[in-house]
A and B are shown apart, each in its own frame.
Chain A
């Protein structure tokens, strides 16, 4: 079973990194190596592999493989960016633990079991909200996220359990399914921090390390949404019940998130708030996908989830790189950032293209499709389209700030060009000193932050020079006395490597952001097999505990029920209506037999939640 190595590596490395937390280097090494190994193990997962666990089983899927590979690889790059900028020492362990739990959940067919795995992983992941020095306010913010995770999980568990049994006469009441559906959908909204459940997410954006925001606000809630979508697609959507009121509530939450999330992001000056609200806004499309209640929404929603998580990871990493480099995350103080940092400007451009897309790109098409399927016409549709495009507003505001004349803080920021270590050493030896080494003199008006950064860079050069002097270098050959294999040489190399890392943190962060942005663009363009993976079915539950069979009063049999060809008697049927879309054929099918149709004379529900014909994409 190819999933087992991934689970063993991710969960084992997470435990190792946490246990070795007191030994910082060891913990870091275990975490980073674990992420590398987990990425490789995720790529080695073979879709369709099954592993029996008691009466249950784990089943690897193409979507799970891609989700985990993207998660671990982007997590590794985020960790490297974090090392170069603002480090959070729990981050590798939280990423590994979170993705291990997600890997387990995406391989489980039973939705409640999968949900519990995701909740456990999300709780471990929430530890990255704690930053040093720990204050009561930090813990309070962490507790808000903690509360949101658990409350959302409890609501979803009860909602899923309610219809995971034969309902007897209650099955004729669509309200029963509607309430269960609404509970699960609103749990997803709470988990994403969608408006109006956004308070905890807003506070989290303020307090949590920016580098951890993708895990907290995007990856873990996205996995929750994947499980909820699988449950909806299996248990609710095929019934084609008239759940207009419930759909309207869920739809309203999605529309509010898309529109108000964009407005809130536009109004904010701090980058972390902009990142937080942009995540809330794009999560609104996932809520729209849950509101469609048709198997045809399966593929676009899951495709958008893949695009969403990678794009938001790149955006958060970009914000971290900007904040650390210029010492501020406030837009009015970031005037001219793009002029001083073309690499980050290109990164932002790629992120915008990957998020919004252009007609023909998958990101654009799936957003358009989700809007088309959820809202057929009317002013609400126009509102959603405008709200979706309104993200150009906050991206444009950031870009405009970058085109202004450089501010004092931006001028004082570290350079994006790589710095060579021997030049810094030569400068120190020539007596340039720590202050002049990093242009502290030129930026004397830049304030304490710039001075501190300049001092730090200058100190690196001085430290290296001191190390070289202490080790002893033959000036004629430039090699350490005693040869390259001597212990002195190893000490020197270590010093040089550390100093080179310290002096080049800005270019390292920029390169990391560019890699993430390119990955986001690839996923947004439909690369890496995203749409195909999203169309693949979810793992089937072993015992049909979640499959509702109308009219059945006895517990469902564990053995599959043989299907019969539908007759033409006109009897009501709960069988899903076939659609013309190729997606629907790949969506998970409902295990319903026409022979056990409800014993009523009422005709089959004719109010479909959404059109089954795929409308033409339109701008959103």
Chain B
């Protein structure tokens, strides 16, 4: 079977690789690029631990082939921090203790980040709706919602100052 040369912009950097068509995108990120921040949870399109942004939209990277990402732009959890500074969404999870075991956290961060990009002041219901494809089996979601609210507030303050 033929392999395919793909070129993907990941966290602002152009990355190239020769991939088998059946290589899942999450395996490309973790095993080829060694970006292991993106987790594999259920591997059945349910849990959202593998969430990354594809051209700005959160998707499940276990349910897409790496070849499909050719020419596209991807943001993973490793790309949130800028110049040693945590992104407000990361800071929010820290401040509000939005995690316990941490397994779902990369996906939650990416979904939360995407939500705040187009809705800087989400209601609690909007946050819960947005993260309804990301499962957390520890927290009961209360602190995750608070973390997103914290980040929203912090981003708004940053813009105001």
A and B interact: no
Q: A residues touching B (Cβ–Cβ < 8 Å)?
A: none
